[in-house]
Structures are given as C-alpha cells and as structure tokens.
C-alpha cells in the first residue's frame, strides 16, 4: 500500500467524520449528546492518523508489518528481491478491474432483475474474466438462472425482483 493511498483513505474517513460532526450540531440537544462524545474524539484520532500517514511515520503499521513478515518468512528462504515485485500501478489496476467487475452484478440485478441479472453476470464473467469456453459459460449461466428461480420460488417464497428495465417497459 502506497503512502498516497493511505493518506487518501484516512482523509476520506476524516471528511466523512467531519460531515457527521456538522450534521450532529444540527440535531436537538438531547439527540446529539452521545454522538458528539464519539464524533469529536474520532475526528481528533483520524486527524492524528492523517498526520502520521502524511509524514510516513505510522510506527504501529511499520512495526506490525515487519514483525508479521519476519514471522512468516521461512528461515531457509532467500530475502525477497524488492525490484522483482510488480509496480504499484499494476496492483491498483488489478484491484480497480476487480471492483468494476464485481459492481457489475448489483448493477445488472438492479436493471434487469434477479432472474436475468445474475445469469448474465455469470455469462459475462465466465467469458470475460474466466476465459471459459462458450459451452461452459452458457451452461453456468443457465444453472444460475435455474438456481435463482428455485431459490426465490421454493426456498424464499418471494416474488423475484424484476428490475428497473422491466418495470419501465411494463405498460
């Protein structure tokens, strides 16, 4: 994890906390008492953590990582060559791609409903990410379709959500 990523994440948490702090002051006197007791020290702690991340002096993190790495490393293993590790942007790109792929499922389920959405997701994943043959990909999608139908109809006994598209197309 790069220093920039640590700073960005802590800053985002601090921004969220400050927003909550502002909202807390808008509450009635009796409703805001306990949230204030939590949110003020929290903002201070996050501010302090942000400073440590900014300066690159997070002793807990560094010490913990070092100890964990030492404990994990087999005695016979040669030291890891840092130059052999992939560049940070490779990891970032892989993570972003994974998140985008995973976001596809809630998106498809919301737009196409729970019957078609997951099946289409499985088909796209199997072909696009898994590199499966078309026969396997279509079989997996069909199994998902049948599985979801059975799950909702017999186990949950609830109507399958139809999705925004079908709702819009319905007269």
Interface residue list for other proteins (CB under 8 A): 1, 5-6, 9, 13, 17, 20, 23-24, 27-28, 30-31, 34-35, 38-39, 41-42, 45-46, 48-49, 52, 58-61, 64-65, 68, 71-72, 91, 94-95, 97-99, 101-103, 105-106, 109-110, 114, 118, 121-122, 125-126, 129-132, 140, 144, 148, 151, 156, 158, 161
Which is closer to other proteins, CB of 72 or CB of 79? 72
CB of 77 to other proteins, least distance (A): 15
Residue 122: C-alpha distances to residues 107, 141, 153, 156 (Å):
13, 5, 20, 22
Distance of CA 73 to the CA centre of its chain: 29
CB of 20 to other proteins, least distance (A): 6
Which is closer to other proteins, CB of 79 or CB of 86? 86
Which is closer to other proteins, CB of 79 or CB of 159? 159
Q: What does the block give as tokens for 167?
A: 């709702």
User: 40 near 21, Cβ under 8 Å?
Assistant: yes
Q: How many CA atoms lie within 13 A of 77 on its CB side?
A: 9
Q: What does the block give as tokens for 76?
A: 């016979």
d(CA 32, CA 36): 6
d(CA 165, CA 169): 6
CB of 79 to other proteins, least distance (A): 21
């Amino acid at each position: 994890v790069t220093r920039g990523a640590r700073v960005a994440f802590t800053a985002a948490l601090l921004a969220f906390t400050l927003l909550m702090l502002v909202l807390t002051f808008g509450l009635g006197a009796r409703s805001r008492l306990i949230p204030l007791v939590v949110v003020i020290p929290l903002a201070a702690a996050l501010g302090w953590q942000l400073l440590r991340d900014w300066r690159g002096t997070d002793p807990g993190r560094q010490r913990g990582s070092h100890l964990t790495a030492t404990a994990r490393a087999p005695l016979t293993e040669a030291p890891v060559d840092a130059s052999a590790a992939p560049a940070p942007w490779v990891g970032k790109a892989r993570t972003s791609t994974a998140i985008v792929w995973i976001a596809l499922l809630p998106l498809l389920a919301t737009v196409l409903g729970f019957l078609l959405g997951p099946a289409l997701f499985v088909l796209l994943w199997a072909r696009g990410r898994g590199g499966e043959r078309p026969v396997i990909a279509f079989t997996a999608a069909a199994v998902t379709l049948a599985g979801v139908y059975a799950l909702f109809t017999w186990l949950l006994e609830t109507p399958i959500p139809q999705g925004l598209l079908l709702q819009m197309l319905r007269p």
